[in-house]
Amino acid sequence: MGLPRKWDPMPSTVKVKDWSFPRGTKPRTGAWRRFREALRLARGVFRCEACGVIEDRLEAHHVIPRSQRPDLEYDPANIRFLCRACHHDRHPGPG
């Protein structure tokens, strides 16, 4: 019968994504997620604040980007809740 083969959690055929963050950004923390959800619920926001579509998953958008004013990252007045399409429109990028 023999011994069972050892499980290899990182087989050499698997490509691992580079998880480095783009310049000027930082990883999101649990504190950010808790803040975002508490703010959304406190405002009672269930519609996109740009187009008005009802969404169950709204994305937080910083009116003044974090790269320009990192001190406003947790300022409720600097955050709007947008649907994915409207948020993408405000952050055009390649592709």
One-character DSSP codes across 6-64: PP-SS-TTPPPP--PPPTT-----HHHHHHHHHHHHHHT--B-TTT--B-SS-EEEESS
pTM over 0.85, yes/no:
no
pLDDT at 30: 86
Q: Is residue 63 part of a domain?
A: yes
pLDDT top residue among 9 and 26? 26
Q: Is residue 59 part of a domain?
A: yes
Q: Is residue 68 part of a domain?
A: yes
Containing structural domain, residue 82: 47-95
* Cβ proximity of 63 and 91 under 8 Å: no
Q: Which residues contact 11 (CB under 8 A, 6 or more apart)?
A: none
Q: Is residue 79 part of a domain?
A: yes
Number of domains in the chain: 1
Q: Is residue 69 part of a domain?
A: yes
List pLDDT tens digits, range 24-82. 556 667 888 899 999 999 988 889 999 999 988 899 999 999 889 989 999 999 999 99
Q: Is residue 76 part of a domain?
A: yes
Q: Is residue 80 part of a domain?
A: yes
